[in-house]
Structure 1
Amino acid sequence: MPRLESEFLCAMHATLQAPPEVIGPTPEGIRVNFYVTGGTLDGPRLKGRLRAVGADFFTLRRDGVGELDVRTTIETDDGALIYVQYHGVGDLGEQGYERFLAGELPPRVALQTGPRFSSAHPDYQWLHRLYCVGRGEVDMQTFEVRYDIHALR
């Protein structure tokens, strides 16, 4: 079996609208929309900013695990547009669901994601061949997200 290796793609910093839009408890869990207000990407081959579009359409399950469903647009430093979508998880703890309903948020939540990229720009076609993973955290007081994104090799 080949060894799992990765290559650093970029560091991402995103800012989110505060407070988030809380839809509330649904059969699937607590629905919360965290709207992207901006951010940056900085890496050897991918540099740019997050446009103020898109959101994390987040669902907090009863077991305290949050399911991320993020869609947004990157504008690279050279003007290309890249659509990024990812799913992932954030663990708010075993009592996370009940604490959220009580208005108690943890100061930080660790996040794991699997971003996929799509662009029509010829200089970024290489992104379509990647499978990426991201690890980071969200600061629940400032509503800032920081990830390191790696491409699996």
Structure 2
Amino acid sequence: MYAYTMEHICSYGVTLHSPFEVIGETPLGLRVNAYVSGGTVEGPRIRGEFLPVGGDWLTVRSDGVGVLDVRATIRTHDEALIYVQYQGVLELGDDGYARMLAGNPPPRAQIRSAPRFLSAHPGYLWVNRLQCVNIGEVDFASASVSYDVYALG
């Protein structure tokens, strides 16, 4: 086995515009877009806010797995901009596709994703070298997501 470390760099909560934009059933699955309205970032390495730009271009597969495609921007407490992009999975359950199609998602759902960060700010060039893991959940009732973010080392 290869040696590795996981360092907690931050936690964040993001609010999403509601209702979500439902594109509908496509050949790849049910397409649902959820746009960022804001959020907070707190942690030992990154602190700031999510700007009201970006979102998740979610595809829900027929097996109830949501495939995330997220892009957003963080403005740190010291005014640096950090772009974040990640893919991952949203566990909606065996009946998740039907529930999402009917507009009745589960109250909460587990998310696992793999974010990458990019910044041109001299104080945050270190984020350009990270591969991270998000552990979190979505709360459909409040149109929000929350994550703990860990850098792999």
Q: TM-score range by the shorter chain?
A: over 0.9
Aligned length: 153
Q: Deviations over 1:20-59 (max 9, x none)?
A: 0000000000101100000011111110000000010000
Structure 1 CA distance for aligned equivalents of residues 86 and 65 of structure 2:
16
Deviation at 1:5, TM superposition (A): 2.2
Correspondence list, 1:38-117, <5 A: 38-117=38-117
Gap regions ≥5 residues in structure 2: none
Task: Give the RMSD, CA atoms, in angstroms.
Answer: 0.8
Structure 1 CA distance for aligned equivalents of residues 97 and 151 of structure 2:
32
Normalising by structure 1, we get a TM-score of 0.97
Q: Which amino acid aligns with 1:74?
A: I
Gap regions ≥5 residues in structure 1: none
Structure 2 CA distance for aligned equivalents of residues 102 and 147 of structure 1:
27
- Give the equivalent residue in structure 1 for 2:6: 6
Which runs of structure 1 show a deviation greater than 2 angstroms over 4 or more consecutive aligned residues? 1-5
Structure 2 CA distance for aligned equivalents of residues 100 and 57 of structure 1:
14
Q: Which amino acid aligns with 2:148?
A: D
Q: Which amino acid aligns with 1:92?
A: L
Deviation at 1:100, TM superposition (A): 1.6
Structure 1 residues 90-99 or 56-65, which shifts more?
Answer: 90-99
- Give the equivalent residue in structure 1 for 2:23: 23
Deviation at 1:102, TM superposition (A): 2.1
Structure 2 CA distance for aligned equivalents of residues 147 and 89 of structure 1:
13
Normalising by structure 2, we get a TM-score of 0.97
* SS state at 1:53 partner: coil
Q: Which amino acid aligns with 2:65?
A: V
Deviation at 1:3, TM superposition (A): 3.5
- Give the equivalent residue in structure 2 for 1:122: 122
- Give the equivalent residue in structure 2 for 1:150: 150
